Amino acid sequence: MNPLTRRPMPRRLLALVTIPLSLSLLTACFAAPAPAGGAGSDERISVAMLQPPRSGLSPLSDDAFKLSRWATAETLVVLDEAGEALPALATEWEQVDDTTWRFAVRQGVTFHNGNELTTDSVVNSLQHAIDASPVPRILDGVELTVEADGDDVVLTTAEPDPLLSHRLSSPQLAVLDAEAYTDSGVDPTGTGTGPFELTAIDGVVGATLERYDGYWGEPAQAAGIDVRYVPDGTARAAALRTGEADVVEAIPAGQAASIDENLITEVPMPRTNTLYLNTESGPFADPAVRAAAREAVDRAAIIESVYEGRADVAEGLLGPALPWAAAYRAEPAYQEALEDRATPAEVDGVKITLGTFTDRAELPEVAVILEQQLEAAGFEVQQDVREYQFIEADALDGTFDAFILSRATVLDSGDPVAYLASDFTCDGGFSIAQLCSPDVDEAISRAAQTEPGKERQRASMAAEAQVLAADAAIPLLHERVIQGESQQVADAARDPRERILITADTHLDAAQ
């Protein structure tokens, strides 16, 4: 039996968001800057975010990361900078045996509507996640049951899961009051537990949050958050330059040079731009044709022209934000797996469809350069570029021969295995590559069953090697977070995992 886990109280989480707004409308979107102040002040923080909600801010979708970045919805566990699990709505936990875990629910916590946090409300939220269709990707392949037992919640997995506590940090497993769950969906308005209460949702335009005075931890310093979704990268950069937004998510690399360097911060992040190839149907069902596409790609040219050098060449799926990854690629077993890759075919006039989305400003430009590189190798390329919300379903259905995706690789658990399982296993819930390989499934399964530490890292890299050996995906580059903050902003989170942005500590300081 593992010892009972007791850890210091963690810092609070928050989240971001986004919408299509033209540059001319941007000024009207944000409230005038409020006077700076300290804890309990009436200052408000304006945030310009990349993407609008895809599922009405349901925590059972990727919108959950907006809720966490706004510090309105919280989970049982959070992760520190090193990816270690820390208490949040659970104060401590114990692994009772290989498949059973017991979590003590924090007492004295209220939801924003005034209802008390109980073990039943935790069970209710987790059960909705378990029953969701599609299931949150952090639960892909995990058979989980949950029940209340006194002041504890007991979770049981069908198979040993050494990362269960880390999984519970996923924003998609946030705990909301029972009132949030309705026949028409999940409504997070007024039903979270964080330092900020979500009080208004304005569709794909924005959202409003207010400081929650009944918060169980340290109260928020700012009075509230005013969020606007601004998918247009030029408009987001302009919002920072003109002071219309205090915090700006995802400044495009092409816009960074036009902004005062003192207003931006750049951090390597666990996000990889990858060209997924449809291994099930079409030309790329042939491994030799996939190999030809791999050989056609010039990563350095993409980084230099599109990202102006503000990205890292991808040697694999996992990048420099995971500093341990590179060393394992030099090991003989990794190199031997890559030796099994198919020999590139001679390509002449092979027609392919190439899809991507506009929400990340660089991706359409990447598509243009990839089209040129692929056509130089003998492919005939037809592009299809749309907003993500209008193209995701087609990508998952295998409509495209190739698809360019900007993908977080450790978004949910601080561990890459969930990403590998979701994207590259036979039963993966986000399998744009449509890959189903016994070798890949076995390697990912082995990694999933390995205890955290160096052996799990090595097993994860062995799984990466198997995916690359299949040429199911061609990693292009690893992105860096380019986050904008006005000179008055203090203590905004700079999170490579993109889970937090505004925290209870974030405020405006006129003295800066």
In a domain, 263, yes or no: no
DSSP 284: G
Opening angle at CA 37, ends 34 and 40, nearest 5: 105
pLDDT at 436: 97
211 and 354 share one domain: no
In a domain, 381, yes or no: yes
The structural domain count of the chain equals 2
447 and 503 share one domain: no
| Cis preceding-peptide flag for 134 (omega within 30 of 0) | yes
Supply φ then ψ for residue 355, to 5 degrees. Answer: -110, 150
pTM assigned to the model: 0.71
- Please give the share of the chain, as a percent, with pLDDT higher than 70: 91
237 and 320 share one domain: no
Q: Look up the CATH number of the domain holding residue 400.
A: 3.10.105.10
305 and 352 share one domain: yes
Q: Look up the CATH number of the domain holding residue 147.
A: 3.40.190.10
In a domain, 261, yes or no: no
490 and 474 share one domain: no
340 and 403 share one domain: yes
110 and 57 share one domain: yes
Buried b (16+ CB within 10 A) or exposed e, 370-405: bbebbeebebebeebeeebeebbeebeebbbbbbbb
Which residues of the chain are modeled with pLDDT < 70? 1-40, 82, 411, 511-512
305 and 325 share one domain: yes
pLDDT at 46: 98
Quote the radius of gyration of the chain (alpha carbons, Å). 23
In a domain, 394, yes or no: yes
Tens-digit pLDDT profile for residues 206-259: 999 999 999 999 999 999 999 999 999 999 999 999 999 999 998 988 899 889
379 and 473 share one domain: yes
Buried b (16+ CB within 10 A) or exposed e, 68-97: bbbbbbbbbbbbeeebebbbbbbbebbbee
pLDDT at 40: 64
For 331, residues 6+ apart whose C-beta sits below 8 A from its C-beta are: 458, 461
Give residue 112's domain range.
Answer: 5-246+486-508
pLDDT at 330: 95
pLDDT at 497: 83
207 and 321 share one domain: no
For 239, residues 6+ apart whose C-beta sits below 8 A from its C-beta are: 26, 30, 48, 230, 245, 248
Nearest by Cα to 176 from 91, 92, 112? 112
In a domain, 463, yes or no: yes
In a domain, 476, yes or no: yes
Tell me the angle at which helices 287-296 and 362-376 cross, rounded to the nearest 10 degrees: 110
225 and 342 share one domain: no
166 and 23 share one domain: yes
In a domain, 257, yes or no: no
- Bridge partners for 68 per DSSP: none
In a domain, 341, yes or no: yes
